Structure 1
Amino acid sequence: MTSPHIASLSWGRMQVEGCSSRYKDCKVWPGGSRTWDWRETGTDHYPGVQPGDLEEVLKKGIELLIIGRGMNEALQVPSSTLDFVQQRGVEVRVLQTERAVAEYNKVASQGVKVGGVFHSTC
C-alpha cells in the first residue's frame, strides 16, 4: 500500500489525492487520510503535538513520519513527542508545513512508507 500524495495546500485547506474531503489539518498514512482534530488529544500550538496525535499514524507500519508545524511554524513539537516516535523505530522530520508537504510527496513518490500530520494555518 502506498502513501497518497497531498494534491494541494493553501492556508487552511489541504486536499489528499484520492480523497473527496478537504482538510484544515490532516493525518496521512499508506492507504488513507483523515482530519487531524486537535480536540481529540487537547493539542494546542503550545505545548504542541502530543504522542496521542501520532499513535494512529504510527500504527500504520510507516518508516518515516513528517510533522508540518504550520505555515508560520507556530505549532510546537516537544522533544518528548519526538522521543516517543523514535522509540518506536520510526524516523521523524519536523518542518514548516509547505516544506513538510513537499518532503512528504517526494518520499512518497520514492515508495517510502511515509505518514504525516500537517497543520495548514499559523
Structure 2
Amino acid sequence: MNVEAMNIAPRITNVSWGSVAVAGFDTPFKDVKCWPGGARPWDWNETGTHHTPGIQPADVRELVEHGAEAVVLAQGFHERLQVQDATLDWLREQGVDAHVLDTEAAVARYNELRTTQPTGALIHSTC
C-alpha cells in the first residue's frame, strides 16, 4: 500500500523500549512523528522539548499542517513525558481531536484511528 498516495498515515508495526518500527521505513525510529502520508524522526532538539514541561504546540504543528484531524500523543511507557496545556488548547482551536496515552496504548489508538480519519502521532519510545 502506498500510504502517501492514499494520504493514510503509515502503520506502526512494532514498538519497544527505544524503537518504533513504521511500515515503509527500513530503520526503526527512537521517537517518531507520523502524519497522513508520511513519517520522520521526532527530534526534540528542533523545538527544545523536554520531559517537563513536555510536548508543546511547535511539536504538533507539523502534523496538523500535513492534514491530521486527530493527533495521538504518546507520553512514554511510564508516562514521564508531559503535554503542555497550551498544546491541547492549540489542537482544540484547530478542531483537532487529541488523545494522550502511554506509549503502548497510544500506538494501538493511532493504528486504529489512521484507518478511519486523517491521523497524526508523536510517539516517544522510552520513559
TM-score (norm 2): 0.92
Partners of 1:67 and 1:22 lie apart in 2 by 18
Q: CA deviation at 1:62?
A: 1.3
- Which residue number corresponds to residue 118 of structure 1? 123
Residue correspondence of structure 1 range 91-106 to structure 2 within 5 A: 91-106=97-112
The C-alpha deviation readout for 1:8-50, integer Å capped at 9, x for no partner, is 1000000111111311100001110000000001100001001
Letter in 2 for 1:12: G
CA displacement 1:65-89 (0-9 Å, x = unmatched): 0000000000000111100111111
CA RMSD, aligned part only?
Answer: 0.8
The percentage of aligned residue pairs carrying the same residue is 45
Return the TM-score normalized by structure 1.
0.96
Q: Which amino acid aligns with 1:65?
A: V
CA distance, structure 1, for counterparts of residue 68 and residue 56 of structure 2: 18
Number of equivalenced pairs: 121
Matched letter for residue 20 of structure 1:
D
| Deviation at residue 56 of structure 1 after TM alignment | 0.8
Q: Which runs of 4+ in 1 moved over 2 A?
A: none
Q: 1:7-86, aligned counterparts within 5 Å?
A: 7-86=13-92
How far 1:3 moved relative to its partner? 1.2
